[in-house]
Structure 1
């Protein structure tokens, strides 16, 4: 078992893959020491040699760290629309390929999404699907290995290949289920989000929105926005994790105390030692100076009755979601998040849950319930929607 290390060998495999209806794909990467994921290994497998026979067609490992190897043959395969590219939980894999080459595999199939639509619940992990569909054991002992080290061990390579060889049986089963139930368009809606560049673009000026705080002070908010934007630009530009620049708790502390000098920074309880001087310290102080110069401060959000959520209505929506998801055999989390239910209960109407397949399965009745046009009734262990005269 030797990984592909030359562009010619990769091109030969990809040319063969284009002759098949699908290819399974997975990656191994590291992100602990970088902002962007470092691609360390690519695994691919072709369909079984004959129907119902596992294992089957060839499976390969590709070493993207090999000197001189170009991934362009792989990207050519990604563009080849006659071959479906099958992943499990594809988001992080797609982020790597998008940032590396601005490309998404087309067409794409994600078995995690398909499994949630096909009734496998919210925890549709790969190991669960291997056991329930492929009916094979799965060795996860190499899950936390350092994939950047060379040479790879035999155990690492066997672990990596298992992530694409079992995926063939899982894909074929789920694809057949979707064909039978007519739910392929439901999965397509989810995949449209995964293949939208906006999903993977992080704008520094919006970075503050990911930070959980309790302060509603306009001056604090402006400082938080400037500090978060500085941290994001610094981390992106030097390809280091955000936490290596400023941890969230330190960022919140600085937005509250708003120090003016390096001496003031030295008094911080939470700031990393390397951030108390040099480039990071200068960036912090410049960000706080920009925040202090802002005169048109954001106005606090007006408090609304029932926010956060009308608790009683939110609870009713959760009951309805559970009933509707059980009825449809779809994971509740795929239909609506708790935040969406609270937003719906508080009067928000511009929500994904009210359109597309979600609206069909749950959203329409949820809206009628929120507007008092229907009620819920329990009978014989099941919950039903009851029209209100």
Structure 2
């Protein structure tokens, strides 16, 4: 039986505290958020939806001042928090409450392990399991306006109205297939990653074509990326509104040291040129003053075409295992996991599995992947040994 979708609006601290005290006794809660992030670095919480199996509650972050009852609820280890595709929601909670919901059950992750499809949207999941259509017209609404429209309220309530029933059905499927522990493990990883403090030290490694830069240029790029990350947060503006990565790459590659050169770099916003030119130039100058001991190592280029057969063999193996297990290959391994594994054995190194391929994934695919890379590498090692003996 589905719970009523007529939402209950909560905008008083005492209302929320009373509800949170009741919810502390729940085994599970359905949770969703609505937020705005068009002009800011951080998401601004616009609404918190909670479904408890009896009703849908819409909590107004703009009106609530005492957040402690919510914090305690989100951290209660006895209450499972059920969300769908929750990465952005976790950012909202971290910014708004300073904590993230735990323990977590992400129904999108669970749906993939239940064989319902990878990256399944919530509306499609509800339709698949409950044969109910959920409208999505309000996805891009202004969730900071007050009052919210009737359509917004209905949309928000529907996001949690059916979630606990979906949760129950997914639990049944996962227990039958003995994959519930896998889902719990991956959901725990989501929580761990969401709790990590900001570390910008390796942001430069993700810039397109950073591998083309020399060591000193990489040092400049690293310093520029740290500045961009720090300032975007401090000013609460999107990174690209401050400056885009290709512009940082160009500054680093040309080791730009004067304002006229800086003005010729494509795509730097006029406000940044006006307010931050001196800072950008000083960052370059300071990096150029450091000796070689401070330079980062050059980054690995894209994998060579010669690694293609090995990558193909690895992907074919994972595809076969996934088919046998009736799982999407994407839940087992990511593209960067393949690359990390292959790179670990280059230049005579020992092949090592990425951390994500340990645990339950090791038994399913990790051991087989290691066997493949070691077998592929054996002929090359034999040739090298023969050459050394001659």
TM-score if structure 2 supplies the norm length?
Answer: 0.86
> Which residue pairs with 1:368 in the alignment?
371
Distance 1:159 1:200, change over 3 A: farther
SS of match in other structure, 1:43? strand
Offset of 1:2 from its aligned partner? 5.3
- What pairs up with 1:300-319 in 2 under 5 angstroms? 300=298, 307=304, 310-319=307-316
SS of match in other structure, 1:116? helix
Write the distance in 2 (CA, Å) between the matches of 1:71 and 1:284: 39
Write the distance in 2 (CA, Å) between the matches of 1:22 and 1:321: 34
Contact 1:3 1:60 in 2 (8 A): yes
Contact 2:30 2:50 in 1 (8 A): yes
Distance 1:321 1:142, change over 3 A: same
Q: Please, which runs of 5 or more residues in structure 2 have no aligned partner?
A: 1-6, 346-350, 377-390
Distance 1:170 1:236, change over 3 A: same
Distance 1:228 1:353, change over 3 A: closer
Contact 2:8 2:56 in 1 (8 A): no
> Which residue pairs with 1:22 in the alignment?
28
> Which residue pairs with 1:358 in the alignment?
361
SS of match in other structure, 2:162? helix
Contact 1:43 1:60 in 2 (8 A): yes
Contact 1:26 1:87 in 2 (8 A): yes
> Which residue pairs with 2:104 in the alignment?
108
Offset of 1:353 from its aligned partner? 4.9
SS of match in other structure, 2:375? coil
TM-superposition CA deviations, 1:147-193 (whole Å, max 9, x none):
11111001111111111112122111111222222222211221222
Distance 1:287 1:255, change over 3 A: same
Corresponding residue to 2:39 among 33, 44, 53:
33
Larger mean Cα displacement after TM superposition, 35-44 or 10-19: 10-19
Distance 1:200 1:154, change over 3 A: farther
Distance 1:111 1:248, change over 3 A: same
- What pairs up with 1:73-84 in 2 under 5 angstroms? 73-84=69-80
Write the distance in 2 (CA, Å) between the matches of 1:285 and 1:147: 40
Offset of 1:29 from its aligned partner? 0.9
Distance 1:185 1:33, change over 3 A: same
Contact 2:31 2:51 in 1 (8 A): yes
> Which residue pairs with 1:53 in the alignment?
none
> Which residue pairs with 1:46 in the alignment?
52
Contact 1:226 1:290 in 2 (8 A): no
Write the distance in 1 (CA, Å) between the matches of 2:36 and 2:17: 25
TM-superposition CA deviations, 1:167-224 (whole Å, max 9, x none):
1221111112222222222112212221215664322322212212152322221111
In the alignment of these two chains, the number of paired residues is 362
**Larger relative helix fraction:** 2
> Which residue pairs with 1:64 in the alignment?
61
Q: Please, which runs of 5 or more residues in structure 1 have no aligned partner?
A: 48-56, 374-389
Write the distance in 2 (CA, Å) between the matches of 1:98 and 1:24: 18
| RMSD, matched Cα | 2.3
Distance 1:203 1:81, change over 3 A: closer
> Which residue pairs with 2:352 in the alignment?
349
Corresponding residue to 1:145 among 127, 138, 141:
141
Corresponding residue to 1:6 among 9, 12, 37:
12
Q: 1:331 and 2:328 equivalent?
A: yes
- What pairs up with 1:154-169 in 2 under 5 angstroms? 154-169=150-165
Contact 2:208 2:246 in 1 (8 A): no
> Which residue pairs with 2:229 in the alignment?
232
TM-superposition CA deviations, 1:78-135 (whole Å, max 9, x none):
2333321111112221222223443232322111111111112213221220110121
Write the distance in 2 (CA, Å) between the matches of 1:201 and 1:298: 22
